[in-house]
Amino acid sequence: MDQVVNFDFRKKNKIKKIIAVMSGKGGVGKSTVTGLVATTLKNAGHSVGVLDADITGPSIPKLFGVNKQKVFQTEDGLSTAESVTGIKIMSLNLLLDNEDDPVIWRGPILGSTVQQFHDDVVWGDLDYLVIDLPPGTSDVTLTVMQQIKVDGLVVVSTPQDLVQLIVNKSIVMANKLETPIVGLVENMSYFMCDKCDEKHYLFGESKVKQVLDKHDIPLLAELPIDKTLVSLADEGRIELYPKTNLEFGASFERMLLSEIDKL
């Protein structure tokens, strides 16, 4: 890790907008949605980077199939990995000798590591840097967001969550950081049955729309429980998903681009 910590502080990157993806808790699909946000922006013709700030559970390299790539120190800073479609990726996992090693660090070190990923990595010119935040709305998440000036927040929840609570927490966080909420993605909204081609709302009718309307927060997408998504994620080919689920892909692209344009 010394090689990261010893870098000079340099401002060499031109990043137009930073979008951070947050959730109320772990395991709701935050990293998956981060992957889909980055893919969607890339498909729309933008230059995109992904900063994996979910330091204790970094899963971004695997989603994009770059977990075997090596990053190295150049004269200008630390190089990134690059996905098949050209998305630049930085994650602590790319720096560990063994990607399965657990990372047991305390908040302040996590925060400064993430800041170095922002400052000391050779991102070059990017239209968007998408950040996969640590899960939840704890101090670690707040530290990360205070160190990097984020332009917009995407919130991820699932129908089982107390969505009102998650929305309230994200509003508090967004206000503290003076960062607008781009919108919310409801993950695992429904299950699409192969046999009857119908949407099954396993967790009952979602309350998300009512809650979001009350706060004027856009619903960016309802992402189904989908085994194709799981296989693509496992195979490191998440970038193919919007094209395999065109209904989701097209509507997410439309919503995301129009909301991000307002930032």
Question: Which residues here bind ligand ADP, judged by CB under 6 A?
Answer: 23, 26-32, 59, 135, 187-188, 223, 225-226, 229-230, 233
Of 13 and 187, which has the nearer Cβ to ligand ADP? 187
Beta bridge partners of 15: 126
Beta bridge partners of 131: 20, 51
Cβ 185 to ligand ADP, closest distance in Å? 10
Of 119 and 161, which has the nearer Cβ to ligand ADP? 161
Of 122 and 188, which has the nearer Cβ to ligand ADP? 188
Of 6 and 228, which has the nearer Cβ to ligand ADP? 228
DSSP E strand stretches across the chain? 14-23, 48-52, 73-74, 77-78, 81-82, 88-91, 125-132, 152-157, 181-192, 199-200, 219-225
Cβ 160 to ligand ADP, closest distance in Å? 13
Closest CA to 94 of 117, 112, 75, 74: 117
Please name the residue that has the structure tokens 């190295």. 72
Cβ 240 to ligand ADP, closest distance in Å? 14
Cβ 188 to ligand ADP, closest distance in Å? 5
